[in-house]
Amino acid sequence: MRKIRIVNIVTNPFQLQNFKGQVSYFKNHGFEVFIICSSGEGLEIFCEKEGVEFFTVEIKRKISIISDIIAIFRIKNYLRKKKIDIVSGHTPKGGLLGMIAATLAFVPVKVYTIHGVPFETAKGIKKIILKITERISCFLALNVIAVSSSLRQLIIDNSLCPADKINVIAGGSANGIDYAERFNPSKYSIDYNINLKKILGINQNDRVIGFVGRLANDKGIIELILAWNNIKSKVENIRLLIVGPLDERDGLPQAIIDDIKYQEGIIYLGEVENIEEYYPVIDIFVLPSYREGLPNVLLEASAMELPLISTNATGCIDVIKNGINGLSIEIRNYIDLENKIVYYLEQPQLRKEHGVNGRAIIKEKFAQKVIWDGLISLFKNLHEKVKFGL
């Protein structure tokens, strides 16, 4: 019996982390999997590890009419050549081009996964264009997946997709969290923690506030630095650990970048490959983001039994259970962030309790197998309905 052929379309290789382990799992459950992606570092390595065929198409993140048209027809021809049964498009641009190409190629099942919506913080004509593209992708898709319940509601409230067409898999997420192996605090000993702190130049009695993510305005980095500048003058034995690449599209003010790179007390590592190896030295994890789809870093940190501080933004509210696994703050409110960090610093037992609670929530709602089985069930049901005209 011929396996169901499914292709995942993403904009760049970095986004393939959303399919780590998932591709192999799908292959063992009746699927033949393909990847369409722009060329770039990490693409071949990922596909070799997962044992999946890939096809490179240059998909630019910005609107580029000629380039986009070329990409659409290259994708369409590949879909027809491979006789693809299901197209799964990801990110606004990958979803839009993927849904158009799949329609032209008469692919029976088209699924658009929304990982987040840039229009939420956009303004003017850009906001209008971003909404239109989301509406087109949702219209062309047979089914739409939102990675969180609050994101689903935002899409519905903005009339971008009918409620009966968009779903959330389990607790949310595109790939779930590997809490048993990758993000498991029991793997890291006290000696490991001591040695890593020495390497990073952290004193053993320092409390570490940690941030992981793109260094961009919409991640709340400005508020984080403002809060930090106030805290460091009041509290002793604290450090701020920042991990992630600078975002050129949503660039930070130079003064903030200089603080991050050169200010005493801040440890800036840039982008790292194995982020799980750095969570053990963090005492409090913060994400003061303005918008998210579902922030993987909050899920990862929670799986590592870290107490969370994050905003009441879309996506964040699906992870933060205020007073249970973390503390919620107002968007763009650095005073609120400062107060919550200081509160946690003064409550070590509460930090531990919230961290333990968080890991239990991850196991229940965001485990990888739960997400993968939910996706497989959805894709197979959609394929059967189309196949038999149900």
For the segment 128-137, the average pLDDT, to the nearest whole number, is 95
Query: For residues 290 and 218, is the Cβ–Cβ distance under 8 A?
Result: yes
User: 299 and 219, same structural domain?
Assistant: yes
Q: What are phi and psi of 9, to 5 degrees?
A: -110, 120
Q: Are residues 199 and 151 in the same domain?
A: no
- CA 224, chain centre distance (Å): 20
In the chain, how many domains are there? 2
- Taking only the tens place, the pLDDT of each residue in 210-239 is 999 999 999 999 999 999 999 998 999 999
User: Confidence class of residue 249 from pLDDT cuts 50, 70 and 90?
Assistant: confident
Res 161 pLDDT > 70: yes
pLDDT confidence tier of residue 100, bands split at 50, 70 and 90? very high
The string of DSSP letters for 328-374 reads EE-TT-HHHHHHHHHHHHT-HHHHHHHHHHHHHHHHHH-BHHHHHHH
Banded model confidence at residue 387, pLDDT cuts 50, 70, 90? confident
Q: Does one domain contain both 381 and 354?
A: no
266 close to 242: Cβ distance less than 8 angstroms? yes
Q: Tell me the per-residue pLDDT of 162-203, one tens digit each, with 9 for 90 and over.
A: 999 999 998 899 999 999 999 999 999 999 999 999 999 999
Assess whether 195 and 338 both reside in one domain: yes
Which residues have a Cβ under 8 Å from the Cβ of 294 and sit 6 or more positions away? 115, 147, 148, 151, 172, 173, 174, 315, 318, 319
Distances (CA, A) of 154 to 181, 324, 330: 33, 25, 18
Residue-level pLDDT at 273: 82
Cα(52)–Cα(129) distance, integer angstroms: 34
- Average confidence (pLDDT) over 2-23: 91
Structure confidence at residue 247 (pLDDT) = 84
Reply yes or no on whether the pLDDT at 390 is more than 80: no
Of the listed ranges 175-179, 313-317, 385-389, the one predicted with least confidence = 385-389
- 333 by Cβ neighbours in 10 Å (0-12 / 13-18 / 19+) ranks as middle
Mean pLDDT of the chain: 94
User: Can you tell me the distance from the alpha carbon of 54 to that of 8, in angstroms, rounded to the nearest whole number?
Assistant: 10
Does 79 score more than 80 pLDDT? yes
Residues 124, 227: one domain? no
In this predicted structure, the answer to whether residue 254 has a pLDDT above a threshold of 90 is: yes
Do 156 and 205 have their domain in common? no
Residues 277 and 233 both lie in one domain: yes
CATH classification of the domain holding 8:
3.40.50.2000
Domain of 342? 185-365
Per-residue pLDDT averaged across 292-311, rounded? Answer: 97
Same domain, 165 and 238: no
Residues 55 and 198 in one domain: no
- In 201-279, alpha helices (H): 221-231, 254-262
> d(Cα 284, Cα 341) in Å, to the nearest integer?
8
Same domain? For 165 and 227 the reply is no
Q: Report the side by side order of strands in the sheet with 86-90.
A: 53-56, 31-37, 4-9, 86-90, 109-114, 143-146, 166-167
* Cβ-Cβ contacts under 8 Å for 42 (sequence gap 6 or more): 13, 14, 16
Q: What is the mean pLDDT of residues 349-353?
A: 98
Same structural domain, 142 and 128:
yes
Phi-psi domain of 83 (left: phi exceeds 0; alpha: psi -120 through 50; beta: other): left
- The model carries a pTM of 0.91
For residue 54, the SS3 value is strand
Residues 361 and 373 in one domain: no
Can you say whether the dihedral through the CA atoms of 281, 284, 288, 289 is positive or negative?
positive
pLDDT at 2 over 90: no
**In this structure, are strands 207-212 and 166-167 parallel, antiparallel, or unpaired?**
unpaired
- The percent of residues above 90 in pLDDT, for the chain, comes to 87
Per-residue pLDDT of 278-289, as tens digits, reads: 999 999 999 999
Please say if the pLDDT value at position 63 is more than 80. Answer: no
Q: What share of the chain in percent tops pLDDT 70? A: 99
